[in-house]
Amino acid sequence: MKNIQLPQFDDFLLNLQVNNLSYETIYNYERDLRVFEDFLNEANIQFNETNKKTILNYKAYLVSRDRKTANAKQGKKNLASFSINRMLSALRSYLKYLIDMDYKSPISPSEIKLVKTEKKHPRVSEFEEIVKLIESPSNFESNKIVALRNRAALETLFSTGMRISELINLRKDQIDKKGRVFIRGKGKKERFVYLTERAQKHIKNYLDVRGEIESPYLFVPYKGKNIHQKDRKISSNYLEERVKRYREFLGLNIPISVHGIRHAFATYLAENGANPAAIQILLGHESLDTTTRYVHGSDRYAEKVHREFHPLKE
């Protein structure tokens, strides 16, 4: 029976809230720290007994937990190192909070060392495959309004490069007549993204048949338990599942996801000569370093840079 609890945990979450972190970010901290709490209970270790060996065992616990998750998903592997580091970072922030508030911490936050991450070669789908995926709802959805809605959603995603959470929460009043979309994104940072004429056309096609629905959100469900809610909207899980199904219908062997479409947006802009600083603004990245992971991850981009800038060409 669970009896070991993290001290001042609710106060820590309140501190995140008053520091204006988003609800999603606070939820992620809570979820990740609950994993550490579960570990302490399973290992029967009191929080005040936490030491370097405890952290080592916790890392091993996370690796084992991630493998079990992968097996449960029929061999589907997660990025273990990134998920582990996220949970370790949450624990580090919690310990820093205890110290800042003059509570006793059993171990210094600096003792929480992150694990080495895998250097995976980025895989960006060919442009023709992305186009086929975006056009899939028109070919594979038998329900006309669902086809129009999903096509408009994927067109919007590739046109703007917005995050899936931003797409799901997109309201009609965020789009102006010129196709500019005002986004309040991760960390409540504000930016504009832009719809192509093609994307605007497919949004109009969808809205023409959407009808008078009270929900302020652009992409709404037409079946399921939420259809009678005033503020209903499609879920990220739904969109991820549809993209996966379209990919299977097309027989694409590269695992294009919703996030992969955002990745492709950035990569293809870079390959066509876009400035990384401009791509950073469009993606809503706080750091240019984050953007360059997209931009410089492209083999074609690297080849283009080499051919253009190498000093000994002939």
List of long-range contacts for 273-280, beta carbons under 8 Å, 24+ apart? none
Pairwise CA distance, residues 255 & 303, whole Å: 23
Q: In angstroms, what CA-CA distances link 227 with 198, 213, 219, 264? A: 29, 10, 12, 32
Identify whether the C-beta of residue 57 lies closer than 8 Å to the C-beta of residue 113.
no
> Nearest-5° angle of CA 197, CA 219, CA 153?
45
For the segment 68-92, what is each residue's pLDDT rounded down to a tens digit?
544 444 444 444 677 888 899 999 9
Identify whether the C-beta of residue 94 lies closer than 8 Å to the C-beta of residue 12.
yes
Q: Which amino acid is at 158?
A: F
Instruction: Extract the residue ranges of the chain whose pLDDT is less than 50.
Output: 1, 69-79, 121-122
The average confidence (pLDDT) of the chain is: 83
Pairwise CA distance, residues 88 & 63, whole Å: 12
For the segment 14-26, what is each residue's pLDDT rounded down to a tens digit?
999 898 877 778 8
Pairwise CA distance, residues 179 & 250, whole Å: 30
Fold category of 9-111 in CATH: DNA polymerase; domain 1 (1.10.150)
Q: In angstroms, what CA-CA distances link 47 with 3, 40, 118? A: 11, 7, 30
Identify whether the C-beta of residue 6 lies closer than 8 Å to the C-beta of residue 33.
yes
What integer pLDDT is reported at residue 126 of this predicted model?
77
- The CATH-assigned architecture of domain 127-309 is Orthogonal Bundle (1.10)
What integer pLDDT is reported at residue 58 of this predicted model?
93
- Tell me if the pTM is above 0.95: no
Domain ranges of the chain: 9-111, 127-309
What integer pLDDT is reported at residue 306 of this predicted model?
57
